[in-house]
Structures are given as structure tokens and as C-alpha cells.
């Protein structure tokens, strides 16, 4: 009988959220029982990873940086290339991906059916045996609860007492205007779920064409889904390839992209010229970005 290594509770989960959480942290969904969803989406780092590329079941590196799975309940499309239209579909991809959990979904379902705990849990909650649809539903139910809204910025915006500093207030103005950040990072979670090419594709050392691999539309070459910015201060490294280690490096890049990448192709017009931010403005902008960190991650 296939057994996962995550310790099972004495009682069955009360609902699909509890079931999804158990599955999220259980190694049973990886080929050799070595990793779980949480291996690459660590709660300590706002359910992101702390390395440029996460390591899969056999230790091999993935092709893109693992993004946070927090604040996904309102998203309309998933992954950097937008290959999944629902959170339920998103949850299945890493299980089957050879560079991640590397377990064909049919085998994953067989394991769950043969596992007494999960067979009983699915039967209790869904009145059915485990299947692909219900597995995605359970994982998505848990991920949908990973919402944050208690940052210094949130409290300030609600008119409550907070540590939203004067520097962060100035940084917010820069974010909205001179820095042009708001053009891509807007809405409650600071993303419009759009695809943008920010200059990290030159078809040489930077050759991930992003959204193009899904649509095969030449206008999408080098475009990637704009990530949300909640808790961004604890989700380093940054960009789809994890090339920047700090928020300072990210802001410096946007300020003068040409100093970092030569020969970018299909770059968005927003980056057609340097932003011209001075040292104080850069510091203030970073202060605002740091203010988006939920209090549960404050050290």
C-alpha cells in the first residue's frame, strides 16, 4: 500500500480545505515520495521558494522561479505563461511535470485510492473516491484560503493605526506615477493578470519566450504574467528566472534596464526609456513595496 510521509491526523479532515491542506504538505503526490507542494511553496516565504529554481523529485532544477501561491483566489489565469485558466487546473500541473513531482496523475489517484486515510477522506467530503477533478478541487480549496490583507499598507488604507512610514507614503506616489509600477501592478493584489514583456528576453542568454510557448503568437514573445506584489519582500529571488536577489536589484533594473540586459526583443513600451529615479526615490519605493508584507511574515 502506498503511504505518504506527511503524518496523518487522528481524525479525518472536516472539509475540503482541510483535505487540501493535508495533500499540499504530503509527499504522496511525488514520484519517489520526496517532495510535496510545500517543498517549493514554503509557508516561511509566503508560499514561494528562496532559490532561483526549485528542485524536483529527482533533484533536477525547474525552468522558472516558483511564484507564491498566496492571494490566488481572485486570479483569472495561472503560471508565468498562463497555461492554466483555473486554480484547480494549476494544482495538477506540478504533480505531472517531470521537473517537479514527476507523477502521472493516474498513478497519483491510484495512490490516494489505496491509501486508507485519503480514500476515507474523499468519501467523507465528496461522497466519491479520489479522482483528478476532486484532487484539483481540494488543493485549490486550500490555496484559496491563503489570502493576506493585514500589511502596514492595508491598515493605512483602512484608516487604522499602522507603521506605514512617511517613506512608504512617498514610495506609493512614486509607485503610482513616476515609477510606472501601477500600470502593471494594480488592483487589490497589485496585478491585473496581464502579460508583459519587461525586457528579459533577447533570444541569447535570456531565451525563455514565456507566453509565446502557449499561444504561438509572435506578439507574445518574451511576455510573462504580471505577478501580484503582496508579501513581495519575503519572496526573493525575483523575476521568472530568479535573476535578481533583492528588491533593490529589481528597482535598479526597472530604473535603467539597458544596464542589465542588452538586445532585448519585443519589450513593452513602458520600458522604452529609463525612469530616472534618484537614490531617495528608489529607497522610498522599496519602503512602499516592503509595506505590502502581511504581519504574519514580520520578524
For the chain, domains (ranges, CATH) are 16-143 (1.10.760.10), 152-297 (1.10.760.10)
Per-residue pLDDT, 2: 39
C-alpha gyration radius of the chain:
20
On whether the CB atoms of residues 69 and 146 are closer than 8 A, the answer is yes
Averaged pLDDT for residues 37-41: 97
DSSP class per residue in 34-67: ---HHHHSBGGGTTB-SSSS-B-TTS-B-SS---
| pLDDT cut 70: percent of the chain above it | 97
The conformation of residue 232, written as its DSSP 8-state character, comes to G
DSSP 3-state assignment of 14?
A: coil
Q: Which three cell numbers stand for residue 22?
A: 493535508
On whether the CB atoms of residues 95 and 23 are closer than 8 A, the answer is no
Averaged pLDDT for residues 33-60: 97
Per-residue pLDDT, 298: 83
Per-residue pLDDT, 299: 65
Q: Which three cell numbers stand for residue 214?
A: 502557449
* Res 141 pLDDT > 70: yes
* Per-residue confidence band for 5, with pLDDT thresholds at 50, 70 and 90: low
Angle at 94 between CA 88 and CA 100, to 5 degrees: 170
Averaged pLDDT for residues 78-97: 97
| pLDDT cut 90: percent of the chain above it | 96
On whether the CB atoms of residues 17 and 141 are closer than 8 A, the answer is yes
pLDDT digits (tens, 9 = 90+) for 219-247: 999 999 999 999 999 999 999 999 999 99
* Res 212 pLDDT > 80: yes
Could you give the CA distance from residue 41 to residue 181 in angstroms, rounded to a whole number? 25
* Res 4 pLDDT > 70: no
Per-residue pLDDT, 1: 31
Averaged pLDDT for residues 23-45: 97
On whether the CB atoms of residues 108 and 95 are closer than 8 A, the answer is yes
Per-residue pLDDT, 3: 43
Amino acid at each position: 500500500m502506498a503511504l505518504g510521509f506527511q503524518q496523518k491526523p487522528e481524525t479525518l479532515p472536516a472539509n475540503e480545505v482541510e483535505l487540501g491542506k493535508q495533500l499540499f504538505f504530503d509527499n504522496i503526490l511525488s514520484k519517489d515520495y520526496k517532495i510535496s507542494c510545500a517543498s517549493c511553496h514554503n509557508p516561511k516565504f509566503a508560499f514561494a521558494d528562496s532559490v532561483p529554481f526549485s528542485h524536483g523529485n529527482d533533484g533536477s532544477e525547474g525552468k522558472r522561479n516558483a511564484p507564491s501561491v498566496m492571494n490566488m483566489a481572485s486570479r483569472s489565469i495561472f503560471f508565468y505563461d498562463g497555461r492554466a485558466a483555473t486554480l484547480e487546473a494549476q494544482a495538477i500541473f506540478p504533480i505531472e511535470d517531470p521537473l517537479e513531482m514527476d507523477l502521472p496523475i493516474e498513478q497519483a489517484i491510484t495512490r490516494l485510492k489505496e491509501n486508507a486515510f485519503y480514500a476515507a477522506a474523499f468519501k467523507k467530503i465528496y461522497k466519491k473516491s479520489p479522482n483528478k477533478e476532486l484532487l484539483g478541487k481540494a488543493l485549490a480549496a486550500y490555496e484559496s484560503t491563503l489570502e493576506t490583507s493585514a500589511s502596514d499598507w492595508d491598515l493605512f488604507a483602512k484608516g487604522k493605526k499602522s507603521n506605514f512610514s512617511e517613506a512608504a507614503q512617498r514610495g506609493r506616489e512614486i509607485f503610482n506615477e513616476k515609477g510606472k509600477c501601477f500600470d502593471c501592478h494594480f488592483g487589490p493584489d497589485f496585478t491585473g493578470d496581464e502579460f508583459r514583456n519587461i525586457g528579459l528576453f533577447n533570444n541569447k542568454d535570456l531565451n525563455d519566450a514565456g507566453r509565446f510557448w502557449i499561444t504561438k503568437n509572435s506578439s507574445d514573445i518574451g511576455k510573462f504574467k504580471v505577478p501580484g506584489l503582496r508579501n513581495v519582500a519575503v519572496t526573493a529571488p525575483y523575476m521568472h528566472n530568479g535573476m535578481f536577489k533583492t528588491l533593490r536589484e529589481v528597482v535598479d533594473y526597472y530604473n535603467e534596464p539597458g544596464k542589465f540586459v542588452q538586445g532585448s526583443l519585443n519589450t513593452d513600451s513602458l520600458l522604452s526609456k529609463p525612469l530616472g529615479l534618484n537614490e531617495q526615490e528608489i529607497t522610498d519605493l522599496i519602503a512602499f513595496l516592503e509595506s505590502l508584507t502581511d504581519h504574519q511574515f514580520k520578524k
